[in-house]
Amino acid sequence: MAINLSRLQIEKLSDSNIAIAGQFDCGDHDLNEFLKDDALKHQKERIAATYLCFYEGKVVGYFSWLTDAIEIKEKDKRVFKKIGMSYRTYPAIKLGRLAIDKKYAKSGVGSYLVKSMPENVIFFSEFIGCRFATVDAYETAKEFYERIGFKMHSEREHTVFMYLDIGSSY
């Protein structure tokens, strides 16, 4: 479906818009259920903040954010030295969840939302140390993140941990 990306609107999840999120379907059971059942609870517990993305009054996508840290293993030290740093951990903002409704997939919404992350990390880093954007990507979405510039850090049980260096790229 063709989408005018400049007309997307982002709204924080709340008691007043959670009902409309019930119609959201990205084709992934866990991501659908998270939005309906857990996202608001996590937000109230300050575990993760969730934002809905609206287009013409419909929820076309959502994402959740939380803080994170990248731990540098011995084998990766060389890579991080290249950017002039040699700390054991680096502060980050994690894209905890990202999903686009099936009807609007491949319309550019997902990459539009992920590409807005650096700007936000820069904003946060004015107040608190924060250098990277991270994501635990589904194996099936790894290439999607690579195309945006994320690099592979390590494999996890069902996901791939990836990072984007805000400091040197933006």
Ligand X SMILES: CC(C)(COP(=O)(O)OP(=O)(O)OC[C@H]1O[C@@H](n2cnc3c(N)ncnc32)[C@H](O)[C@@H]1OP(=O)(O)O)[C@@H](O)C(=O)NCCC(=O)NCCS
Between CA 158 and CA 163, with CA 155 as vertex, the angle to 5 degrees is 110
Shortest Å distance, C-beta 2 to ligand X:
11
Q: What letter would DSSP give residue 85?
A: -
According to CB under 6 A, which one of 28, 40, 67, 77 is a site residue for ligand X? Answer: 28
Residue 53 or 166: which CB sits closer to ligand X? 53
Residue 101 C-beta: closest distance to ligand X, Å = 8
Of the pair 11, 146, the CB lying nearest ligand X is at 146
Cβ–Cβ contacts within 10 Å for residue 119, how many? 10
Residue 20 CB contacts under 8 Å (≥ 6 apart), including other chains: 52, 58, 59
**Which residue is associated with the tokens 């818009």?**
17
Residues 73-112, mask of contacts with ligand X (x by CB under 6 A): -------------------------xxx----xxxxxxx-
Question: Considering beta carbons, is residue 35 or 130 the nearer one to ligand X?
Answer: 35
CA torsion sign, 123 to 59 to 113 to 71?
Answer: positive
Work out whether 25 is an interface residue with ligand X (CB under 6 A): no
32 binds ligand X per the rule CB under 6 A: no
What residue type is 6 in one-letter code? S
50/129 Cα distance (integer angstroms): 21
Closest to ligand X by CB, 44 vs 158, is 158
Q: What is the CA radius of gyration of the chain?
A: 16
> Under the criterion CB under 6 A, does residue 162 sit at the interface with ligand X?
no
The binding site for ligand X (CB under 6 A) comprises 26-28, 31, 98-100, 105-111, 137-138, 140-141, 143-144, 147
